[in-house]
Amino acid sequence: AERLAGKTVFITGASAGIGQATALEYLDASNGDLKLILCARRLEKLQELKTKAEKEYPNAKIYINKLDVTDTDAIKPFLEKLPEEFKDIDILINNAGKALGSDKVGDIAIDDIKGMMDTNVVGLINITQAILPIFKKKNSGDIVNLGSVAGREAYPTGSIYCATKFAVRAFTESLRKELIDTNIRVILIAPGIVETEFSLVRYKGDSDRASSVYTGAHPLFADDVADLIVYTTSRKPNTVVADVLIFPTTQASPYHIHRD
């Protein structure tokens, strides 16, 4: 936790789920002694999070602003608008991502295809490219990309989502190799089943279907993944926890989920 003191952490998709939990986990781990840049599409959710977090950690510095990671033209102005004390980013958490629909190939709506590709792949690449110069300049920094078990083992009705997470994996591995002569650490976190708004988004608001994904399965909670993210970015600087698959103890693959 001492290693986190004074750091500036940038989290995308911070309004809910793993992103939100990660923001809170960083505050908890550092006792508020760091700076957070939180972005998402839903500014009011970020505002609620900031208000709540500042009550608990009055010493924390939290900057929020609306950003859709797919809006390539908005990223540069977003970074330029950062108050001076937030500009020296140390840790990037590429968390924003989603699954849309569960249709089989042949029936997948183009909006769902583009929605997933744009956010999970193009958005993640956009943000990484925008932040990388900051890390290169000081020859340090952590890039944490949220992959998935779906980026290791593709499953039916998830072709596009799985393809985006395979892409995240490939992008992450290329980047780690490109940065081998730097102190920048590139970290892939691949969760299995996590209970968040994820399934509600995937099933487009069908809450019965969404909750059935988690029923009896004892899925991970967002803060379990957040805990791991904070862990990986607070290791000794000569080490990189490069690639982590995290399941609840009830899961062993996309197909092996023990339910009571």
* Site residues (vs ligand 8X3, CB under 6 A): 148-150, 191-193, 254
Does residue 101 contact residue 109 with C-beta atoms inside 8 Å? yes
Q: Which is nearer to ligand 8X3, 149 or 163 (CB)?
A: 149
CA–CA gap between residue 38 and residue 50 (Å, rounded): 9
Nearest-CB residue for ligand 8X3: 148
Question: Catalytic site residue 165?
Answer: yes
Does residue 11 contact residue 39 with C-beta atoms inside 8 Å? yes
Shortest CB 58 distance to ligand 8X3, Å: 35
CA dihedral 231, 236, 238, 239 (to 10 degrees): -30
**Helix (H/G/I), strand (E/B), else coil: 221:** strand
* Identified catalytic residue from 63, 161, 203, 214: 161
Q: Which is nearer to ligand 8X3, 62 or 189 (CB)?
A: 189
Shortest CB 165 distance to ligand 8X3, Å: 6
Question: Catalytic site residue 161?
Answer: yes
Q: Which is nearer to ligand 8X3, 67 or 193 (CB)?
A: 193
> Kind and range of the H or E element at 10?
strand 8-11
Does residue 10 contact residue 89 with C-beta atoms inside 8 Å? yes
Shortest CB 213 distance to ligand 8X3, Å: 7
Contacts (Cβ under 8 Å, ≥6 apart) of 79: 87, 130, 131
**Helix (H/G/I), strand (E/B), else coil: 143:** strand
* Identified catalytic residue from 50, 165, 203, 214: 165
Task: Please choose, from the candidates 91, 245, 108, 257, the residue with its C-alpha nearest in 3D space to the C-alpha of residue 165.
Answer: 245
Q: Which is nearer to ligand 8X3, 33 or 195 (CB)?
A: 195
Q: Which residues are catalytic?
A: 161, 165
